[in-house]
Structures are given as C-alpha cells and as structure tokens.
Amino acid sequence: MKIMFEQFDSVNRLLFVLLGFFIPVSTALTNVILGLIILSCMIDNVSDRFQRWVSILKSNPVAFMGLIVFLIHLAGIVFTDAEKDKIIESLMDGAKFLFISVAMIYFKDKKNSFAFWFSFALAMFITLILSYLLRFGMLPGFMHIKGGPLDSSVFLNHIAQNIFMAFIAFMAAVNARFAIQYQKKILWGVFSLLCVFNVLFMVEGRTGHLIAGVLFVYYFISWDRIKSFIIAGFVLLLIGLFAWVAPSNSLVLRAKTVIEEINAWEYGKPASIESSSGLRLEFYINSLKLIKNNPVWGTGTGSFEKTYTDSIKNTGMHPTDNPHNEYLMTTTQFGLIGLLALLCFFGIQWHCAKFFEDSQQTIISRGFVLTILFACMVSSPLVDHAEGWFFVFMSAVLFAGLDTWKAHGKNKMDIA
C-alpha cells in the first residue's frame, strides 16, 4: 500500500505541474486536470489526507479563514431566492476558498511548490514570446489566438493575460533583486521589463495596467531607498520614452477611452452599450442600491443576477450577472458580513506573510495579495475561471507553510 501511495504522490506532482502550465493557457485543459486532481485526492490515502487537512485548518490561519468564507456561502442558501443553477455556481465559487486548504496538503512539499511555480512561469514565458510575435505579425496563421496585433492576448482574454503577466513581471523583478549572480539578475530583469511593456503597451486589459502600477510602487517601497530611486527612475524613463515614440500604444489609447467614457456617462441614465467604463459605473451604482436595501446579510447565495435584474426593470438599464467588482458582488449577496470575511481573508494573508523567514517570499506573497486586492476592485477575478484558480493555487503555494510561523518568528519585524 505504501508503494501505491508513493506512486500517487508522483502522479499528483505531475498533475500540479500540468495545472500550473494550463491555468494561463487553456480553460478546458485546466478543468480536466482539476478533475484528475480531485479524483486522485479521493483515492490517495483518504484517511491520512483528511487528518492532514484538518490539521492544516487548525494551524494555518489562511486555510481557516478560507473555510469561514465558504461557510458564509453555504449559509446564504437559507435566505436566497436564486435559481438552483445559480446557487450551485456561487457555491462552487465559495468552494474555491475551501480548496485552498486541500491544495496546501500537497504544497507543503517544496518540490510540488517549485514544480507549480516553474510550470506557471514557463507558460507565461511562452505566452510572452507568442504575444510579441503576434504584435509584429510573425505568429503562424494556423494558431488559434484570442487577440490581434493591437491587442496581443494569446490564449486567454486580455484581462486574464494582463493580470497574470503583471504578477509574473513583479515576481521576475523580485527574483532579479535577490539573485546573487549578475547573469541571473540581468536575465530576470530583462524578462520583467519585457513583461511590463507587454502589459502596458501591447495588451488592452486595464486591470493589468492598474495592477502593474500598484506592484511597481510596492516593489520600490519594499527596497533600499537609493537603489529604488535609481531603478524606478530608469524604468519610468524607458516607459516614458516608449509612450512618446509610440503615442498610439494601448496604455495611452485605453486611458483616453476611459476618460471619454466617464465624461459621457450620466447618473441615473442608461449607459451606452459600447461604453465599458459607463457600464461599470452603472453596475456599481445599482449594486450599491441593492446593498443599501440588504446591508447586513445580503440577498443570498447566487442571487445577484436575479436581484439585479428585478431592480432595473423598466429603467432601460442593462442586466448583468457580474458587477465587475468582487467587493460589490460579495456584499450584495452576503452583506457586510460577507465583505468583512473577504477583507479579513486578504488581511490575514498580508499579515501572515511577514512571518516567513525568507524576505523574498514575503515580498512575493504580498505582491500576490495586492494583485488580487486591486483586481477585485475593477473585475471579479474570484468568479472568473482562470483568475479564480490562479488565486486558489497561488494562495496554497505561497501560504502552505504558515502552520509553523509561531515557532519561527512571532516577533519578526514587518517588511514594507
């Protein structure tokens, strides 16, 4: 039996490698790998895995808070009037928080963590190369891609690609900072800069633009002051020069579009269907009205689409199943209690990251938290497929070792 379980460990490691690669590449293949992982977990020494899972829930604050968020989704069934399929869909979104603790069972093994990191980084490296080829019209015609030369997204939509690319740019920059050999510093640094330019000037995902800016600020705040000023100035100079030489880049064009759309939007009137920013403002205002009517408990699990549609009848405004803001989505369905639980989850991740002995891991972990925090402000990454599973497995990879934080550094100084 022991040999069989060891074989399952090898299978699980391979599955996590494949998952790390396919999350930013293919929704269908991600689902296939997830199904195999769940099947493997059910077969692979269930009693032992269950005991380890319970132990993680007891000792790991991130895992425990994920359980709380899931239970809130479960409790919301009691008072929802949503249809069955929407309830199940919302429960699956809540179950992602629970699955973080399940994945932590396997990511406590550093080999599995490294394999996942490597495969994810490899997928983003391939995406980056193909994106540049697409931009310059050199991509083979037989390849099925999402975007085009002016919006160089490859496997996924531009929102998802830009979120992932912004984070991988940050991670590469951190690796460049901590690398000992200058060759590695240069390689990681060049990779990071190529990712940043891809996010800002080649792909239209404004969520990625926002995240890249936030991570850029945090990266230099967490560094030595003199070095940060020098490098930040150099990067800003490069970005400024490129924006000046190529004023028709996606960053400038999208910024102009946002300003025009916001100026054209009128409060209380239906937004133009062509106005992305106007529609978002419409969704935000109407969602806030729903929250005002049900501030504490919300309207229940999976209820957003029905409740929102009912609230805009005969107004000419546009129905939606997603307000493009995770905080509004959560508060509408689960009230201020649900919002508090979600913010506590992120707060615990941020706080516990300071207990890692490796400051590099602390910075990357907090960069990840900032990525999700700000993505949630302008989209719903926890609901979306690729972004949602990115959130789950990165949370598991980065915070799987937190059960030992009390023994390692209870009084450790905070980092940036």
Is 264 contained in some domain?
no
Is 103 contained in some domain?
yes
Retrieve residue 73's tokens.
Answer: 């989704």
Is 396 contained in some domain?
yes
Segments of the chain with pLDDT less than 50: 1-5, 405-416
| Rounded CA separation 368/106 (Å) | 20
Is 112 contained in some domain?
yes
pLDDT value, residue 349:
95
Q: What is the pLDDT of residues 264-293, one digit of tens each?
A: 877 878 887 777 888 888 899 999 999 999
| Rounded CA separation 283/303 (Å) | 15
Is 14 contained in some domain?
yes
- In 3D, which of 350, 389, 407 has the Cα closest to residue 65? 350
pLDDT value, residue 188:
94
CB 65 within 8 A of CB 345: yes
pLDDT value, residue 147:
78
Q: What is the DSSP string of 256-276?
A: HHHHHHHHH--TTSPPPTT-H
Is 172 contained in some domain?
yes
Is 357 contained in some domain?
yes
CB 100 within 8 A of CB 345: no
Give me the number of domains the chain comprises: 1
pLDDT value, residue 414:
40
CA geometry: angle at 274 spanning 252 and 331, to 5°? 90
| Rounded CA separation 76/78 (Å) | 5
Is 277 contained in some domain?
no
Q: Please, where are the H alpha helices in 108-224?
A: 110-135, 158-178, 182-197, 206-221
Query: By residue range, what is the domain housing residue 42?
Result: 2-259+321-409
| Rounded CA separation 307/335 (Å) | 14
Cβ-Cβ contacts under 8 Å for 272 (sequence gap 6 or more)? 264, 278, 279
Quickly count helices (H) and strands (E) in the chain. 17, 0
- pTM of the predicted model, to two decimals? 0.88
- Phi and psi, residue 356, nearest 5°: -70, 135
